[in-house]
Chain A
Amino acid sequence: MIRQISVFVENQPGSMMKVTTVLTEAHINIRAISTFDTPEFGIMRLVVDEPARAKESLTQNGFVTRVSDVMGVELKDEKGNLNEMLKILADGQINVNYIYSFVIRAGKAPVMVFHTDDFEKAEQVLTDADVKLVEEEEL
């Protein structure tokens, strides 16, 4: 499993930059990022190299955060591979709440992270289909 940090941000100029500034100043490396927006506010989801320290820095700077688990899957950078992974999950009746991808990692295979309500089953169907799962320490 991979720990993801979610941050509440208002939908206005500079609000995401304030989050990345805090992380930069704390020397934290962002591995993956995705945002979800509504007209007034948004949620920024991040995978970073040191989640505990990232949360601490953000909290100290007045951000509201939450740490939750997501699952990481390594894919070959070839056509159809994402489709195939999603098919495995669909066949296994796994609902994917959201999915996003990692920032390009030099010399390494791309990684997708996703959130589901049933991690155990998701892990099982992916492992059964020989899909490589990525753990936090491998990032």
Chain B
Amino acid sequence: MGTINEVQEEIVEEFSLFDDWMQRYEYMIELGKSLPLIDKQFKTDDNIIKGCQSKVWVHADLEEDKLVFTADSDAIITKGIIAILIRVFSHQHPDAILEADTSFIDKIGLKEHLSPTRANGLVSMIKQLKMYAIAFKTQLN
């Protein structure tokens, strides 16, 4: 498993193969299908990320000193977005997650999802993943 930056670069490279938004969206939808799905018992209202028009559930577990995320969404574009974020953040140390810069989203042509007013709540998703990192960091110390 590479560092957060390495994984981000890998994703940027994959997306650079496509010339138009439609192919990028199709790829994102494809990535959503490989999302590590959240266990049914964690798919509760408590684990829904607020600020999204569609529902996104996220759960985190600690494996040694790394965080492992699972998630799901009822919308497939959102599922693709959370799948990309989880691919970047999963199997990483909480410190690395907290320090991570997420401007790669811009580079893969999903800039419109970065606006805080956007109803899909990409910003809320990143915030929530970082919140898990803070919570588990205190457990590690």
Do A and B truly interact?
A: no
Chain A residues at the B interface, C-beta cutoff of 8 Å: none
Chain B residues at the A interface, C-beta cutoff of 8 Å: none
